[in-house]
A = this chain, B = another copy of it.
């Protein structure tokens, strides 16, 4: 492993926030040596609990994350926040408002905030977020909160392996429940109806409960639906208490750990082999040649791919 990696890994061990930030960036950028560094980090992973907060845009997730974070810090926890933003390269990331909110959190003692955009993460968003969790874990964070917009497969994957998944809804958002239909209902451990001082909050609570009762395959598991007003802090103590109960009662079971490891390994395998393949095809001019052959009508994409799978001996 190159020296500069060693230096940052030492820094991480000694509690340098700067080293943690640098490592996350380097790993996200797939800088040469990243896999070797992650091996070391993986060996130093411990007991960090991961909380995923997701919901539609405008549900007040950032404010809620901020309030939660400050409450957890008051209780003595060291907290990391990963704000995942499936943003446009156009806007260059989060909106100014979000950034300002995040800045307020990040000035708190014992809190480390990291923004992450879809773009720029070479291995994809979900791998980048998972790597960042591992780096924060090795640093010694007790809790990592991942905040993400709950739409799109990538974002769902990000929160899927959290120890606790909170889905945030809000009254009066156009199609109401439509906002939370995107593959996240079934991974929610809790629902939070935020902005609960608004008209229609109780209706949203009822809608969620109806959906839950219609879907529930396991009637023994009761999914809590809580109400908060994150701007005033109303409902936050109850939320933290429910979270704390949940995390205490659901230890990292061997089965859950196994599933998480299996899922992570598969995603890493698929994404990194695909990336190696793409690089190889571009670097060696195979891609240009293939495109040429398709345009000239000599070949078609499907027979090319069949051949690659047959000859590449993927095992």
Contact = CB atoms under 8 A, between A and B. Distances in A.
B174 A305 contact: no
B35 A186 contact: no
Interface residues of A, number: 79
Interface string A259-271: 0011011101111
A151 B151 contact: yes
Copies of this chain present in the complex amount to 2
A155 interface: yes
Given A35-B302, A261-B295, A301-B261, A183 B89 contact: yes
Given A266-B281, A302-B268, A181 B90 contact: yes
A308 interface: yes
Nearest to A131: B302
20 contacts: A88-B181, A89-B183, A95-B178, A124-B153, A151-B152, A261-B294, A265-B290, A265-B301, A268-B301, A269-B281, A270-B274, A270-B278, A272-B309, A273-B274, A273-B305, A273-B308, A273-B309, A277-B314, A313-B313, A314-B314
Interface of A: 35-36, 38-39, 42-43, 56-58, 86-91, 95, 118-119, 124-125, 149, 151-155, 173-175, 178-179, 181-186, 211, 215, 257-258, 261-262, 264-266, 268-274, 276-278, 280-281, 284, 286-287, 290-291, 294-295, 300-306, 308-309, 311-315
